[in-house]
Structure 1
């Protein structure tokens, strides 16, 4: 069970103001409500946050340790709320780079939300695979990138958002024995993937390389929806994000195989220059995370 923003807020103001009554007055809540929220916060964390044996509630060692982190959490929450009400201050053009899976799953609702909240904003979207988006960001050709497996660069902020589950798929009509994909039984099949140096291309090479093998027939193209349909046609295999099976449209006839060795998930991240107005990009990253959470 996760704690709520209200529980953390109640703890913070009791600690800051030195009492439950003062915190209740500041939050315009009843004292029992504030007390209940703090107790629930303590229950979730599994320890007392205040020593209540004294005249004033005094933070315990744990309460003192988390105080600064909770303060940052509340400040960030207020910032996101302000941005959602006030818009993206002063911005007229937003240049978004989106990896293919992000574009298919999240981008339509993200753009709809931006249009509803910030009608004055013009959005320019580039959809490409992640390594190209990373270079576009470094060249300042885009403002924010939603991409997977980015590299670390000086002056660039990287915020992990969620994990991408990768699966091997083949067409249901393809002659293939069993339900397990191994480098040995896929090595001679045509494999559809993004072109080098994409993250999927690199992951495939590493997966085969773990058994000392190299795929014999790599066929490359960019849209993951097309890659899924090529695999569905029954002429080869593809490594794709699991969600792309649903997002690639109706009529797909795919078998999902268990991978041995297992394929590590990719990290979907938001990436921007640190010297840019960071609060705006944090707002966009949080908005994307909220949309993704609703899809689970």
Structure 2
């Protein structure tokens, strides 16, 4: 029995498919299957039931899973203690939201290229709900998502907090600088779709204060929302650091609300059963570079 065989078994047992497990380990699917087959022959037990559409763990496989996790974690700890950890290499697919993509993502990728030249990063930009689904299925290695995940298979660690503020076009507001219940009833409110973290804090704010928002427009791109707000279509809310340059250019007018929208926490999310050393290393780099108020290099 070898560590590579246990690694192949563990990846296949915790990923959504053998194909995704092979991708995680930078193997062909046939190589992954061979390692698992060799392990089964060594143990004299069948670890996966391959009779269905998707291979599932047998009773022997379920018994082996926690023991394999312990052995692999101990091996990683031993290599770290001896200073013999292999350099991070291969492909890492991760997800972020639009705000991260427009602020700190370029610096993070550049930092990882310097620190881990053999590692190739593939960022995917989407709404938080979609990223969590892809992370849970094994399509992504980690994600930076607004809020905390309610999925038992994922673990979330808070890495940043972002404050949001309201804005509208000066000609639409006619000198009014405060959000009131009447404003929300008479004016179109433009938000991201329900799967976005910013929309969740807005919905919680509306519910907590028994407010009525009958006129609502949904758009899945924050830059497009800013354009709609600037054109006088309606009012919207944005991260304060991202909103400030728009106000300074006169594109929008800042608004106050009482009470204000609560801050939105962002978290580093990964699968609870993913014990690879790549995750702590990348989480550390994310925490070093994360800054949701930073200007995009091309802005």
TM-score interval w.r.t. the shorter chain? Answer: 0.5 to 0.7
Which residue in 2 is equivalent to 1:227?
Answer: 225
Root mean square deviation of aligned Cα: 2.9
Are residues 86 and 243 of structure 1, via their aligned partners in 2, closer, same or farther at CA, if it must alter by over 3 Å?
A: farther
Distance across 1 between alignment mates of 2:143 and 2:181: 32
Check the 8 A contact 1:224/1:244 in 2, yes or no: no
Does 1:281 pair with 2:275?
no
Which residue in 2 is equivalent to 1:120?
Answer: 118
The farther-off stretch of 157-166 and 212-221 is 212-221
For residue 246 of structure 1, report the CA deviation from its aligned partner: 5.4
- Gapped regions of structure 1 (runs ≥ 5): 1-75
The farther-off stretch of 273-282 and 105-114 is 273-282
Which residue in 1 is equivalent to 2:261?
Answer: 263
For residue 293 of structure 1, report the CA deviation from its aligned partner: 5.9
SS in 2 for 1:267: strand
Distance across 2 between alignment mates of 1:188 and 1:234: 13
Aligned residues: 214
- Gapped regions of structure 2 (runs ≥ 5): 1-76, 295-299
Which residue in 1 is equivalent to 2:242?
Answer: 244
The farther-off stretch of 286-295 and 168-177 is 286-295
TM-score (norm 1): 0.64
SS in 2 for 1:173: helix
For residue 86 of structure 1, report the CA deviation from its aligned partner: 6.5
Distance across 1 between alignment mates of 2:122 and 2:111: 15
For residue 152 of structure 1, report the CA deviation from its aligned partner: 3.1
Are residues 288 and 169 of structure 1, via their aligned partners in 2, closer, same or farther at CA, if it must alter by over 3 Å?
A: same
The structure showing larger relative contact order (alpha-carbon pairs under 8 Å, at least 6 residues apart) is 2
Check the 8 A contact 1:192/1:238 in 2, yes or no: yes
Output one character per residue of 1:188-227: Cα deviation in whole Å (capped at 9) or x when no partner: 2112211123222232233233343331222112221221
Which residue in 1 is equivalent to 2:251?
Answer: 253
Distance across 2 between alignment mates of 1:119 and 1:173: 51
SS in 2 for 1:187: helix
Are residues 248 and 254 of structure 1, via their aligned partners in 2, closer, same or farther at CA, if it must alter by over 3 Å?
A: closer
For residue 245 of structure 1, report the CA deviation from its aligned partner: 2.2
Output one character per residue of 1:30-78: Cα deviation in whole Å (capped at 9) or x when no partner: xxxxxxxxxxxxxxxxxxxxxxxxxxxxxxxxxxxxxxxxxxxxxx9xx
TM-score (norm 2): 0.63
Q: Which of the residues 121, 140, 143 maps onto 2:141?
A: 143
